[in-house]
Chain A
């Protein structure tokens, strides 16, 4: 059989494969040329070009950039307290949302992974994924009407004498926790699925109570998955400006960038560096904690 094959003329794909055969560097290079070229030259290059403007300034009337090196944007960022407040407010909300989502997501993911029947699991997975397909804008606007003074939340709480949070910080936290919840549930679910049942049985056989099993077996093993989910809840909160605008009067980093992008791009670029630096630091920590295996 094999000898017959060598008598035939080699097809183009065969010849191409021969070219790569044994030459690992070439293989890797060919594979990576597309993706890496796209991401490094296209994406990182674009980012660099944008961020370079952080060292420039702007003519107040025309809004045209004066391409001379200056640090005035960074001075403004550091010296004016309002920007520190805004950055801290954004980061704090991102952390709160992440924590909230982790707490809400874990039981659901655990139930899906370890308790639900095959059928129940399928239904739950579909049930969690479906909200991802409803428009982000529509969901936020729905929350806006829910939270309004004459909205459904106040209407429901009124008989017991309570009232909803209305618009503001609490609303932003609530809505963002809502929006990013599926992004937290799914990685935790995947991570929990990967824990073999045998490990849990072994722990029980050794005499551990369910709580101890949870604390000393399940939690550590699923922690990287939680961190993986947190990458999305944290980054999505950090960069959002539409939700704060629709359910609060508070400015987040994204809002200030947005309002400066038109007339003062250098300053907007300097502002943009803040979430970028924060996010890169977060990603480095997450990678350390093994999250990248679970994303």
Chain B
């Protein structure tokens, strides 16, 4: 698209301002992680790496980190299965109530977290008499993660013509073979992207988790929240946050590479309808 000099300049300025808006608070977090004062004073009186070494030594933080990883993997796995199943039904079949599925799937994430959290917690403790534990947390997370996988999968399936599957059937493959050798490979990168986003959602979730977690366990956000009560440990929290961001560069990069590969392989922009960008199709 041809833009005038001025428009180009304005656009770049808008982007720069937007990015600054996004990153300045993150820079502040990084600065505080090196803050030598325990209460978050500004400007920081001094700098130290003390909090990072404390973060590594902190047993509760490490355990919480591992618990979050476990919950994230389990919730993403469940969401992947359920989301894929639903997406295949919706994208490849027609049936009574098909349009409602998209609506249903988005509800857990669209309704306030406190409502979802209290509802699930009540059902477990009062109706089913199941104690709260990591299991109940995973159930809660999986519920609102389904939509992420589902959206990515449906978007991809819509783009992949059903004729490939029909051809596969014509050649004698039964439905499981068709799924395994034709559909799934086509969907794979969309599912990975969806799975990664689901993991990210679960990893950072606090509100539903607060209501569904048992007494003896902590996920990372719960640990962070409980340390907001402990001013003596507040800077450790910032150090942990910085570490998490650094570690997370890997999955984010992977997700993008996988999404980009698929898009590149099946043709670029133009008459085809544009590059599919499921990697970025949002939660």
A and B touch in the complex (CB under 8 A): yes
Question: A interface vs B, CB < 8 Å?
Answer: 2, 5, 13-14, 16-18, 20-21, 24-25, 27-28, 31-32, 34-36, 38-40, 42-47, 49-50, 104-105, 107-108, 110-111, 114-115, 122, 125-139, 141-143, 145-146, 148, 150-152, 155, 178, 181-183, 186-187, 189-190, 193-198, 200-201, 204, 210, 213, 228-229, 231-232, 235, 238-242, 253-254, 257-258, 261, 268, 272, 275-276, 279, 282-283, 287, 292, 295
Chain A interface mostly helix, strand, loop or mixed? helix
Q: Which residues of B contact A (CB under 8 A)?
A: 1-4, 7-8, 11-12, 14-15, 17-19, 21-23, 25-26, 28-29, 32, 40-43, 81-83, 85-86, 88-89, 93, 95, 101-116, 118-120, 122-123, 127, 139, 142-143, 146-147, 150-151, 172, 174-177, 200, 203-204, 206-207, 220-221, 224-225, 228, 237-238, 241, 244-245, 248-249, 252-253, 255-256, 260, 269-275, 277, 279-283
- Identify which of B119, B206, B245 gathers the most chain A CB atoms within 10 Å of its CB: B119
A127 lies within 8 A of B29 (CB)? no
Q: Say which residue of A107, A114, A146 sits within 8 Å of B14 (CB atoms).
A: A107
Contact of A126 among B127, B252, B282 (CB under 8 A): B252
Q: How far is B275's CA from A213's CA once the two chains are assembled, in angstroms?
A: 21
Residue in A139, A181, A268 with the greatest tally of chain B CB atoms within 10 Å? A139
**Complex Cα gap A13–B245 (Å):** 43
Specify which of B15, B114, B177, B272 lies most central, judged by the most chain A CB atoms within 10 Å of its CB.
Answer: B114
In the bound complex, what is the Cα–Cα distance between A228 and B281 (angstroms)? 10
A42 to B110, CA, bound (A): 16
Contact A125 B105 (CB under 8 A): no
Closest B residue by C-beta to A294: B281
Q: With a CB–CB cut-off of 8 A, which chain A residues contact B249?
A: 126, 130
- Shortest Cβ gap from B197 to chain A (Å): 8
